[in-house]
Structure 1
Amino acid sequence: MFRAARPIFNQTSRAAFRSQFARTSGRRFQSTAAGEGPSAQQQQTWFKRMWESPVGFKTVHFWAPVMKWALVLAGIGDFARPAENLSVTQNAALTATGAIWTRWCFVITPQNYLLAAVNFFLGCVGVAQLTRIALYNASQKKLAEPVEKEVVKS
C-alpha cells in the first residue's frame, strides 16, 4: 500500500513545489520591486544604485579604500622630504602592499575597482620613493669615491 502511494505523493508534492517556485522565480533575480518595469530601474538615481551596490556606501568595500587614500596622500607628502630622511623598509612595505592587494582586488568577489585603484597608486608612490632613495644613495657613493682615492694616494 505504501509503495503504491509513494509515486503519487512524490508527483503531487513536486507539482506543488514547482508551482510555488514558478510564481516567485521570475521576480527573485530582479533588483526592483515587483510590478516595476525596466523604466523604474533606469530612473534610479546614482546615489540609490551606489547605496544598494555590493561595494556601495554602506559597505566596508567602499570605506576601506576611501580611508586608504590617506596612505597615498602621506606618501605623496613625503616627496617634499629629503631622500636621506626616507625609510627603505617603509616604502618597500608600501610597494609590496600596493602590488599584492591590487592583484587581490581582482580575485575577490565582488571585484572592487576602487580598492584596486588606491592600492595601485600606493604601489606607485612606494616605487617612486624607493627610486628617490636609490638615486640618493648612488649619488652619495659617487661623491665618496674621489675623496677616498685622494686620501689613499697621499
Structure 2
Amino acid sequence: MQVADRHVVYIHYTLTNDGGEVLDSSQGGDPLAFVFGAGNIIRGLEKALDGKAVGDKLNVRVAPAEAYGERDDRLIQEVPREAFQGVDEIQPGMAFNAQSSQGPMRVVVTAVTDELVTVDGNHPLAGEHLTFDVEITEVREATTEELEHGHVHGPGGHHH
C-alpha cells in the first residue's frame, strides 16, 4: 500500500539540523504515526513521503518555508516585567502562553532585565533547514473516526 491522503503512515525517523546535531528521533521507540494529508507533520516531509511504500527509506532535506517558516523578527518583543503577574522568577528559556492578534501563541523568554522581558514567538526550529532520515514501516487506511478527529488512534497514536 502506498502513502496517500486518508491513510495512516508509520515512520521511524531521525531529525538533524545543518550542523548534524540530532534534534529528535524515534529510534529505540515506537514509530511516529500520523494521518497523511491532515497537516500532522511539516509540509516538506509530507510531500517527500507522498506515493512511497512500506520499506522505503528516504533522506529528506526540508527548507524553512516547508518546515517551521523563516524567523520573523516581529515575533520578538520586549514586554514590561509587570505583565508576568504571579511569576516570581523569570529566566531565559522559560515558555509562556500569550494572547496575540491571531489567538494564543507560545513564547520563550530570551532575555530579562529589571524592567523588561524579551520574548520570542518564533517556533524553535524557525529558519532551520531540517534533514530527516526516514523509513516507512506501515501504511494502512485511516478509520472514519481517525479522519474525523484528524489523528491516529490506538498503538502509536492518540488514546481517548
Normalised by the shorter chain, which TM-score bucket? under 0.3
Compare the two structures and name the one with the higher helix fraction: 1
Which structure carries more relative contact order (alpha carbon 8 Å, separation 6+)? Answer: 2
Q: TM-score, normalised by structure 2?
A: 0.21
Compare the two structures and name the one with the higher strand fraction: 2
Structure having the higher Rg: 1
